[in-house]
């Protein structure tokens, strides 16, 4: 999968006091997507960005805004995130009762629709919505915080979902604990988009880190 590998730095680990400059910096450093972790202090024990902040940073880059909603409920807020400038809107399968409806709503707003699965959620929950999906996001940590350790059991889930996807044009993204040590196992299992938060933002040279991640995936 490495020939089409997309790197999505998570701005959860950026310096929030200069968020616009951080988005410009990862753009220049060669990221593919800008991963935006939206947390509500309810679905996950942390609170981050709302639509006004996303709208503020939208002019800083033309790169894809990959908006990961860790909020419950998500449905009442989907339109706001669409209007704020999201390109991909990902909801958690565990967040709302009617996942099929959420996905239809996201596409109805003209955006790409994603679903995310917590580490304990089996891939069977997406079996009947595959034709409504543009992206599947496998959480390889329990969502809420950056800098956690990769949960190895998710490699099997990534392999199974890659097989479920078959020929469909669906991105398979992995989020949590991805760094130069773990990225190859993730891409070998079938992921073609990787989120990297602390791995990218902990150093000063974002370009070198993104390059090192691509090299490690292809090694
Ligand atoms: C966790 C978030 C992740 C997080 C990843 O809830 O969804 O996107 O920022 O951070 P790292 O790459 O540091 O594990
Ligand atoms: Zn995320």
pLDDT at position 219 over 70: no
Q: Is 10 in the pocket of ligand 1 (CB under 6 A)?
A: yes
SS3 135: strand
Task: Map out the domains of the chain with their CATH numbers.
Answer: 2-217 (3.20.20.70)
Is residue 3 packed enough to be buried (19+ CB in 10 Å), middle (13-18) or exposed (0-12)? exposed
What pLDDT is stored for residue 2 in this prediction? 40
Q: Is 73 in the pocket of ligand 1 (CB under 6 A)?
A: no
For the chain, report the end-to-end CA distance as a whole number of angstroms: 12
What pLDDT is stored for residue 3 in this prediction? 57
What are the pLDDT digits (tens) for 148-167? 999 999 999 999 999 999 99
pLDDT at position 142 over 50: yes
Tell me, in angstroms, the distance from the centre of ligand 1 to residue 175's CA.
Answer: 6
In the chain, % of residues over pLDDT 90: 98
Q: Choose one of 7, 11, 12 to mutate for the ligand 1 pocket test, by most ligand atoms within 8 angstroms of C-beta.
A: 12
pLDDT at position 31 over 50: yes
Q: Which residue lies with its CA nearest to atom 9 of ligand 1?
A: 146
pTM (predicted TM-score): 0.97
**Which residue(s) pair with 114 in the sheet?**
90, 135
**How far is the CA of 204 from the CAs of 133, 158, 199, in angstroms?**
36, 31, 11
Q: Is 37 in the pocket of ligand 1 (CB under 6 A)?
A: yes
């Amino acid at each position: 999968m490495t020939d089409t590998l997309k790197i999505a730095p998570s701005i959860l680990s950026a310096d929030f006091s200069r968020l616009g400059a951080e988005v410009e910096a990862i753009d220049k450093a060669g990221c593919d997507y800008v991963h935006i972790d939206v947390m509500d202090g309810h679905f996950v024990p942390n609170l981050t960005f709302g639509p006004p902040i996303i709208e503020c940073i939208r002019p800083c880059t033309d790169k894809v805004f990959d908006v990961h909603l860790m909020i419950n409920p998500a449905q009442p807020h989907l339109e706001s995130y669409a209007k704020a400038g999201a390109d991909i809107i990902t909801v958690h399968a565990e967040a709302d009762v009617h996942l099929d409806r959420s996905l239809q709503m996201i596409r109805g707003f003209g955006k790409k629709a994603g679903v995310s699965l917590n580490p304990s959620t089996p891939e069977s929950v997406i079996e009947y919505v595959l034709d409504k999906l543009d992206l599947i996001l496998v959480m390889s940590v329990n969502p809420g915080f950056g800098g956690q350790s990769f949960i190895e059991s998710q490699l099997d889930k990534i392999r199974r979902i890659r097989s479920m996807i078959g020929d469909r044009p669906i991105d398979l993204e992995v989020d949590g604990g991805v760094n130069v040590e773990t990225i190859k196992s993730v891409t070998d299992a079938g992921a073609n988009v990787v989120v990297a938060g602390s791995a990218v933002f902990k150093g000063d040279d974002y370009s070198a880190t993104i390059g090192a991640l691509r090299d490690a995936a292809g090694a």
